[in-house]
């Protein structure tokens, strides 16, 4: 039982309800979803991305709700993946349970076939601005942490290496080195 409670606390977002809205960063931090599926009621969740609508449409039973994307923190999709809406862009949250949050966006480029390009970003916490994931931006985000700056240079040869996952510790390497305590 203790192990189960530990797992739940460590991975709070993995066991949260499937689909809904996070109104604030605090809602995201505490897994407080609004506009979720109710027991036997019809439920539809529409991002309306095809025409770049500024509204999310949610149908619960006979009620329809149109929420302005600019007025919410983000949402959790029907596959259990959390997303943040920031500066009118939807970011997939890669590591919702870690200190430095990592995000991604994907775009399709039509040059000699469809090629998908993934771009990576970060924020220092759920309520802070999102920046492109680069070594320089990480150093700027944590200006007083010179040990962290040194470890970034030691562990990561290029910006592309910043999304390396540490399978042994089950955490992204950037968070592993950020969480190291110095005496």
Task: Please name the residues in contact with 52: beta carbons below 8 A apart, sequence gap of 6 or more.
Answer: none
pTM: 0.84
Q: Distance between CA 180 and CA 183 in Å, rounded? A: 10
In the structure, what pLDDT confidence band is assigned to residue 175 with cuts at 50, 70 and 90?
Answer: very high
pLDDT, tens digit, for every residue of 38-77? Answer: 777 888 878 766 667 788 888 888 888 888 889 999 999 8
Mean pLDDT of 99-125: 89
Please tell me whether residue 28 adopts helix, strand or coil conformation: helix
Report whether 85 contacts 103 (CB < 8 A).
no
In the structure, what pLDDT confidence band is assigned to residue 9 with cuts at 50, 70 and 90?
Answer: very low
Mean pLDDT of 127-132: 97
Mean pLDDT of 18-40: 90
- For residue 43, what are its two tokens? 């439920």
Q: Where are the domains of the chain?
A: 13-88
pLDDT at 2: 44
């Amino acid at each position: 039982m203790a192990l189960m409670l530990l797992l739940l606390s460590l991975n709070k977002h993995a066991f949260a309800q499937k689909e809904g809205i996070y109104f604030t960063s605090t809602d995201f931090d505490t897994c407080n979803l609004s506009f979720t599926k109710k027991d036997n009621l019809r439920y539809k969740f529409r991002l309306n991305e095809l025409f770049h609508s500024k509204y999310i449409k949610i149908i619960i039973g006979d009620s329809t709700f149109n929420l302005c994307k600019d007025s919410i923190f983000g949402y959790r999709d029907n596959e259990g993946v959390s997303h943040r809406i920031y500066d009118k862009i939807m970011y997939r949250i890669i590591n919702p349970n870690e200190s430095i949050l990592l995000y991604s966006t994907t775009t399709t480029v039509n040059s000699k076939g469809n090629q998908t390009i993934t771009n990576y970003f970060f924020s220092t916490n759920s309520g802070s601005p999102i920046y492109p994931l680069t070594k320089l931006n990480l150093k700027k985000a944590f200006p007083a942490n010179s040990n962290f700056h040194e470890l970034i240079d030691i562990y990561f040869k290029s910006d592309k290496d910043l999304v390396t996952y540490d399978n042994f510790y089950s955490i992204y390497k950037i968070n592993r080195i950020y969480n190291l305590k110095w005496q």
